[in-house]
Amino acid sequence: MSTSPKGTPGAEGKRAPVTIPQLLEMKRGHEPIVMVTAYDHPSAQVAEEAGADVVLVGDTAAMVVLGYDSTVPVTMDEMLVLARAVRRGLKTPVMIGDLPFGSYEASNELAVENAQRFMKEAGCDAVKLERGGQSVDRARAIIRSGIPVMGHVGLTPQTASSLGGFKAQGKTADAAAKLAEEALALQSVGCFAIVFEAIPAAVTEVLVAQLDVPVIGIGAGPATDGQVLVYHDLLGIFTGRAPKFVKRYAEVHERMVDGVRSYAADVRAGRFPAPEHSYSIDPAELEAFKGYLSSESLAARTPWDW
Ligand code: KIV
């Protein structure tokens, strides 16, 4: 099992772009797939430098970036602005656009149209949609139009209210069987990978063994072919209540507040800007300028002269 990022270095030692077929090879080679969300140019650059294999422009942007209460309100147009910024910061990971609530459910035509927008207007490599059932038809239609699709089962935040809230799924034999049917159906129509969210680890383990496509887990235990975490959660940028499955790898929010607080204190105390933050001017030029300001011709000007 390799711990280095996927993609062979090119001639200048640069990482080669990760491809969708490589994700399947990684599954087969038991090489864990690293996926993370990104929503703007700086987060894309971080994901790039850190060697992520897959970057999802997730609709979690609704909450962690745009300040909505859930993922439901975010629109396709809002997602496209974010996806375009991510594209500009990303070179090697597979980039996936997350179809937001309302952008694919109503018809296959709508689903294909919005998937195409992610590809044409934001340069995505693939799209993701949530749930089984009707979404399986949508996934099939998008794939037939030539666009790779990632599925998403278990806790599907866009429909959390009909699932009884943000809680683990597949906790009874019947519920686990429904998950199995959804995942197998998504695989059968050609999804190249499936996200498993908030599913008991033992259920995941059984299902992963039944699936040929990579399974990327978030709160689904260690048996998956890869893991995904929300950027703001893993870095501690978002300070709201985090789900049980989040592990924080940094406390960036506190560091940022400390930074802005120190800046504010420096400004208020007159410590910033210091001479090294200021531009200089040749003293003779400055004297000439002061002379100009105090000249009679300047004082004699009327508003119409300006
Ligand atoms: O929108 C998102 O960030 C997601 C991940 C949690 C998989 O769907």
- Write out pLDDT tens, residues 42-61: 999 999 999 999 999 999 99
**193 close to 205: Cβ distance less than 8 angstroms:** no
Q: Whose CA is nearest to atom 6 of ligand 1?
A: 230
Structure tokens at 218: 């978030």
Catalytic positions are 197
* Ligand 1 pocket: which of 66, 99, 230 to mutate (most atoms within 8 A of CB): 230
Whether 13 shows a pLDDT value over 90: the answer reads no
Q: How far is the CA of 255 from the centre of ligand 1 (A)?
A: 25
User: Which pLDDT band holds residue 298 (cuts at 50, 70, 90)?
Assistant: confident
* Ligand 1 pocket: which of 36, 56, 149 to mutate (most atoms within 8 A of CB): 56
Residue ranges with strand state E in 99-206: 126-128, 149-154, 193-197
pLDDT tens digits for range 185-221: 999 999 999 999 999 999 999 999 999 999 999 999 9
Residue ranges with strand state E in 136-212: 149-154, 193-197
pLDDT tens digits for range 26-47: 999 999 999 999 999 999 999 9
Q: Whose CA is nearest to atom 5 of ligand 1?
A: 58
Q: Whose CA is nearest to atom 2 of ligand 1?
A: 58
User: Which pLDDT band holds residue 240 (cuts at 50, 70, 90)?
Assistant: confident
